[in-house]
Structure 1
Amino acid sequence: MMKFTCYLLTLISLGFSLHACSQSFEGQWSGTLEVQGIKLPTVFEFTYNGQWEGTMQSPMQSKQKMPFTKIVANGDSIHAELSTFGIRYAGKLSADKQAITGKVKQGNMLADLNLSKGALKALNRPQEVKEPVAYKQQEVSFENALDKVKLSGTLTMPSEPGNYPAVVLLSGSGPQDRNSSMFGHEPFKVIADYLTKQGMMVLRYDDRGIGKSTGDFSKATTTDFGKDALAALEFLRKQGSVNGNKVGFIGHSEGGLIASILAGQGVSGLNFIVDLAGPALPMDSLMLLQNEAVMRAQGQELSAKDRQLIKKNYAIAKGPLPADKAFEAIRKNMSTVPGSQNASFGDELAVLVTPWYRHFLKIDPTPFIKKIKIPVFAAFGGKDVQVPAAANMESLSDHLPKNPKNNINIYPNLNHLFQTAKTGSHLEYADLEESFNPQVMKDMAQWILAL
């Protein structure tokens, strides 16, 4: 479900404010920020031309270099701040001016971020799409008129005139750009490249409030993202080269959930869906399975007491209490857990009462799955710890109406991101070189073209 990615993006998307009076900090600096067991390479670049300028980049999250806006430096010390996110960095330059030892602070979170002079070792991403590409691609924008949100994206299509199947890519949870960039991977760009070369039109777009899209991501729910998906579908169907009988969604994780819900609602103009690790269970049940699977991948087991605490937390979050009262009730429920009353632990619990999470926990996709009348291609990773394959495939198979064109498979060695995995743990996503499994791309392409 990638919710942890949402939190890490909030932390790592630091538009650090920098201003200083010493040129000792000029150049490129690289280091690693470790958060919740996940290591995130970080790069700063500083230049001085009468005033300080520079950028910050998290290569595992995005290729975007974010401009610095303010810095205060005094001798061998540097203090940087991003007030929008409540983030502060304090560092000290080494005697040989080849390293900065420092810490990042956000709220009650304090983490080491030590930087070395020089560039970061390049990530090996062999599936990276190289320019120029052998097809047409254009920057596009369209509007979700219901919410007055303008969505921006990229449309790719074969160069030759024709009448092509067309798909919209729907991203998983957390703030995603059009390429679904994370950990140096760009799986949606890889998928779009492959499918376009197979003779399809592909639309991928930045989530609302992300990249070039307008709107407020932090206040949006799964239902809101569903309305954005419908706007994308409507826009795609208006393109001249589209085969009007072959237009569908390809959704990953929450995107797969959205595709299933909209298919079950019988939305006009949707001819098929491809569901990649989309939940097929009530969300509170799924999240409990996710907790168990994540722990198991790390060699631990969730105790019966932990299960009960988690279930009660979900029940409170789903309930009618206002957010502040729900948070208090959850804190009380967790009172027997050591450290649970600390402010830093409270920040983690607060996620449970955000608008997205409370709405998400109430979703049960099974009534919608029962009403799907269009063809479905569904794929699950056998090592997925976020949407465990066996339980979700069973629920989907049991509830989906029979259709000879349906195709449901488990790929035994793949994780939630459809990478060939060792354990399936989210902690290894960044270390794997595969961005998206070629066999899955081949299978879904052949299935779409054969419809």
Structure 2
Amino acid sequence: MILTAFLTAAVLVASGGTATAAAPGTVAASDREVQFVSDGVPAYGTLHVPAHRAGARVPAALLIPGSGPTNRDGDEPPTVTPGTLKLLANALDQDGVATLRFDKYGTGRTGLGGLDPAALDLPTFTRQAVAAEQTLAKQPEVDRDEVSIVGHSEGGLQAMLVARRVRVKSLVLLAPQDLRLLDLLKIQLDAQVTAADQTALSKVITDFRAGRELDYTGMSTQLATFLQQAIFSPVNTRFVRSDDAVYPPSVARPGPRVLLTCGTQDTQVPCWTTSPLAAALRTLPRPLPVDHFQHAPGTRVNDQVLDPSVVTALRTFLEHR
């Protein structure tokens, strides 16, 4: 769950793309590959510009992916490919919104770029997202005063952190990380393990936060192996510690308009955890009948389709832009 990237300043370059036919006086919708660089390390993404009047500037949104090695489309190939961010870009296109989505370090074309994955932490991800937002805002088709951020899952926490550093019009937080990382992890795992595992897990989390050696005694082999390999491995420790140190409501700042959603079928970020974050943002959460990937109930993980309620929520929010 923990590969990512580091950027502090960005320059965008085009390297080809696709476009569709347009009516006279209209620029066709197009995708182009972009590159932004910091500290000599390039990151890559897709800039989508919707059809628009020639010479006009359009609103835009930066799309920030969730946790782990999640690429520009919202996928962790080859096993998890819901296409969440690509689908969001398509939906926003219908409302005339340009989008930039990018490959975090450790994913897609970007890769690690020579960075040590064990040295990456939450601020590293934030710096990358800030650079991406600054790059998007400089595009000739984009109205700088109409730039928003759309964050999914952990990307929702990143959206709030980025909004503390750059000027944005609005935030769209789709099932955002709304608790400390390990508190949310415990909620997820408690629903799947025995009472003995729950007790042992609480102790491991307490010990980790205190900087003590982790003792998996009393824990099932399956859970202990998962924690040792996926959460508390040496390559992940720095990131997990830095993310877990952040209580999302404490970094939420009222100001930009906010759409905050939760999924009534979401077992990763349940709706009942959202109230403190909503209060900090001075907004009300909008429950949607979806799972964590913004699917309708019963949809398979890799079915690339957004539930209509997600598209409607976006459209309603954008109508008040």
> Per the shorter chain, which TM-score range?
0.7 to 0.9
Q: CA deviation at 1:206?
A: 0.8
In the TM superposition, what are the counterparts of 1:292-303 in structure 2 within 5 Å? 292-293=190-191, 295=192, 302-303=194-195
**Residue 306 of structure 1 pairs with residue 197 of structure 2:** yes
Aligned to 1:358: 241
Deviations 1:74-101, CA, capped at 9 Å, x for gaps: xxxxxxxxxxxxxxxxxxxxxxxxxxxx
**Residue 441 of structure 1 pairs with residue 311 of structure 2:** yes
Hey, what's the Cα distance between the residues in 2 that align with 1:341 and 1:397?
32
Hey, what's the Cα distance between the residues in 2 that align with 1:446 and 1:217?
42
Hey, what's the Cα distance between the residues in 2 that align with 1:280 and 1:287?
12
Aligned to 1:190: 87
Aligned to 2:297: 421
User: Match of 1:260, SS?
Assistant: helix
Q: CA deviation at 1:342?
A: 8.9
Deviations 1:191-222, CA, capped at 9 Å, x for gaps: 11221132011001111232222534733222
**Residue 218 of structure 1 pairs with residue 110 of structure 2:** no
Aligned partners of 2:84 and 2:304 also within 8 Å: no
Aligned to 1:380: 262
Hey, what's the Cα distance between the residues in 2 that align with 1:398 and 1:270?
20
Deviations 1:299-342, CA, capped at 9 Å, x for gaps: xx641x43332122112222335xxxxxxx32xx3223354799
In the TM superposition, what are the counterparts of 1:230-245 in structure 2 within 5 Å? 230-245=130-145
Same amino acid, percent of matched pairs:
24
Q: CA deviation at 1:347?
A: 3.8
Structure 2 runs not aligned, ≥5 long: 4-17, 22-27
Richer in strand (by share) = 1
For 2:47, give the aligned amino acid.
L
1:334 to 216, 223, 239: 216
Hey, what's the Cα distance between the residues in 2 that align with 1:348 and 1:195?
34
**Residue 320 of structure 1 pairs with residue 211 of structure 2:** yes
Q: Decide which structure has the larger Cα Rg and report it.
A: 1
Aligned to 1:153: 45
User: Match of 1:442, SS?
Assistant: helix
- Give the structure, 1 or 2, with the largest relative contact order (CA under 8 Å, sep 6 or more): 2
Deviations 1:408-441, CA, capped at 9 Å, x for gaps: 30113x111111123x9xxx524xx353223212
Q: Cα 1:383–1:292, aligned 2, differ >3 Å: closer, same or farther?
A: farther
Aligned to 1:269: 167
Aligned to 2:181: 283
User: Match of 1:310, SS?
Assistant: helix
Structure 1 runs not aligned, ≥5 long: 8-129, 296-300, 322-328
For 1:195, give the aligned amino acid.
L
User: Match of 1:240, SS?
Assistant: coil
Q: CA deviation at 1:240?
A: 1.5
Hey, what's the Cα distance between the residues in 2 that align with 1:390 and 1:342?
27
Q: Cα 1:154–1:217, aligned 2, differ >3 Å: closer, same or farther?
A: farther
Hey, what's the Cα distance between the residues in 2 that align with 1:337 and 1:184?
31
Hey, what's the Cα distance between the residues in 2 that align with 1:318 and 1:286?
14
RMSD: 2.9
Q: CA deviation at 1:149?
A: 3.1
Aligned partners of 2:34 and 2:44 also within 8 Å: yes
User: Match of 1:440, SS?
Assistant: helix
Hey, what's the Cα distance between the residues in 2 that align with 1:289 and 1:342?
16
